[in-house]
Amino acid sequence: MMKSRTLRIALTVAAAAVLAGCSSSGATTAPVVTTAPVVTTAPSAAGKVFTLKDLTVGFIQTGSESGWRAANTASFKETAATEGVTLKFYDAQNKLENQVSAFHNFVQDPSVNVIVLAALDVTGYDTVLAEAKAANKLVVLEDRRIDADSSMYYTYIGSDFINEGHEGAKAMCDLLTAAKVTKKNVVEISGAVGASAGIDRAKGFREKMGDCGITVTATQTGNWGVPESKAVMEAFLKQSKDIQGVFAHNDEEAIGAIQAIKEAGLVPGKDIQVVGFDATADGFKSLISGEMGADIECNPLLAPQVFDAAVKGLNGDTTVPKWVPSQEGQFFAAQGADALNALLKTRKY
């Protein structure tokens, strides 16, 4: 697996170099670049003080797999428009090789002075990170961490997914205790394989689940989507009805599980407790109906912090920490429909 994937990535980088001259237009294809030689853009060029309006950001998004992702993309497009940032948006359609080739092309693009990556996977970027470093291109990670030496990027702005997992386990413990169940068998619908959000939520949940004797009896990816997660939950229920809880890695996966639970003649929030992540509007609706018991927030509105950090980076500021954790909370069906509806009205996602 590793060898062929690394080979595929290396081939992708090479292919991207070849393709760069002849790609068609449209956001989802590799950015068109002139064949001008790479310009080394040393941060804080002598005497120049960069501002938001000086940013030309090559933004490599994962794809459009969830409501959370749509809110994250909107945060970048809207903030760029408001602040006068030039945004070259690339939708990788959830393919790692697309991200790597776009990254390579943004390194080659003399107009781009900052590359922002929402990483699909925790590995696979070493080659292009080294290229960016050699070309003195500022790199900022947003949303997801990667397994790379932090000297290869300026800063990472994103969630503490392990802590989210802790909060998820605590919430599941409270829900199962309130439901007065003796057994605590929980099935897990995990995020896309390789994504730090899923890896770390799973780790965090397992670090705390022992506090009330939870056992994860089955786990499978739902790839962040409703239909696939519904099918996964249907299969879990066919295997065993001895399930007291669902640990779903995002709202879409929780909603898919809820649909399957209902079609199996069971009552979500009563027969089976459901915990989700993101706290998007759809998640809130499931809390308000009582079908989801808890929703652990993941904040998608990261663009302002990312652009501010990019300006600091171009101005040679060395005080920005390597990780800036996002501010986020937790929401519970127990807060009641009125309070949750009032909150929902104030939220941007």
**What b/e sequence results for 109-133 when a residue is b if at least 16 CB atoms lie within 10 Å of its CB, and e otherwise?**
beebbbbbbbbbbbebbbbbbebbe
Structure tokens at 190: 């995990």
Closest approach of ligand AHR to the CB of residue 323, in Å: 15
Of 120 and 314, nearer to ligand AHR (C-beta) is: 120
Closer to ligand AHR by Cβ: residue 66 or 98: 66
| Residue 129 C-beta: closest distance to ligand AHR, Å | 19
Provide the minimum distance between the beta carbon of 254 and ligand AHR in the complex, in angstroms, as a whole number: 10
Distance in angstroms (rounded) separating the CA atoms of residues 262 and 181? 19
Pairing mode of beta strands 215-221, 185-190: parallel
Are 54 and 113 in contact, with CB atoms under 8 Å apart? yes
Interacting residue ranges for ligand AHR, rule: CB under 6 A? 65-66, 68-69, 143-144, 197, 224, 250, 277-278, 298
- Which C-beta is closer to ligand AHR: that of 16 or that of 287? 287
Cβ at position 69, least distance to ligand AHR in Å: 5
Q: What is the separation of C-alpha 281 from the centre of its chain, rounded to a whole number of angstroms?
A: 17
Q: How far is the CB of 201 from ligand AHR (least distance, A)?
A: 8
d(C-alpha 285, C-alpha 142), whole Å: 27
Please identify, using beta-carbon distances, which residue of 248 and 309 lies nearer to ligand AHR: 248
Instruction: For residue 121, give the nearest of 201, 205, 202, 62 by alpha carbon.
Output: 62
Q: Which is nearer to ligand AHR, 50 or 284 (CB)?
A: 284
